[in-house]
Amino acid sequence: MKIKYAINTKIPKPDVLTGQNTSITNGRKTTLMELCGRAMIPYNITGGFPPVILLQKSGKGHFKVYNEDGIVTYSIDVSQIPAKKDPEFSARVLEIVSYGFLDYYSRECTRGVFGVLPLSKAWVERSCNDRKR
């Protein structure tokens, strides 16, 4: 059974670091598998190269770096996450990786975990009017 979380609609767009600024070393390194386990979300990835996730309290936002071997590292600024305890903390990190970075591996794991946005009244009315025609 998956835990359902309300969706965060204000995930900031992450930056991509290139050139000389690609060295990120401080922070706590974790994996997608570890985060899924702590968030009580099934890890259902069987191949490929899942990203490396670095948890930092930098206050500089989230960013992405490509390593020399092509492995992606996501640096997550955890000072922006309101939840401080698991399982919600790990779920919020996964949400940033899934919907901020649009990471395929993380989105496969979190599919159906975060609630959908409510439909706007205008969209519902327009849809109903289209069906009446």
pLDDT, tens only, 37-72: 999 889 988 888 888 899 988 778 888 888 777 788
Helix, strand or coil, per DSSP, at residue 19: helix
Entry pTM: 0.76
Q: Residue 39: helix, strand or coil by DSSP?
A: coil
pLDDT at residue 33 tops 90: yes
Tokens, residue 54:
């670095």
Beta carbons within 8 Å of 90's beta carbon, 6+ residues apart: 35, 36, 38, 39
> What Rg do the C-alpha atoms of the chain give, in angstroms?
17
The residues that bridge with 55 in the sheet, in sequence order, are 28, 76
**Which residues pair with residue 56 across a beta bridge?**
77
**pLDDT grade, residue 22 (50/70/90)?**
low
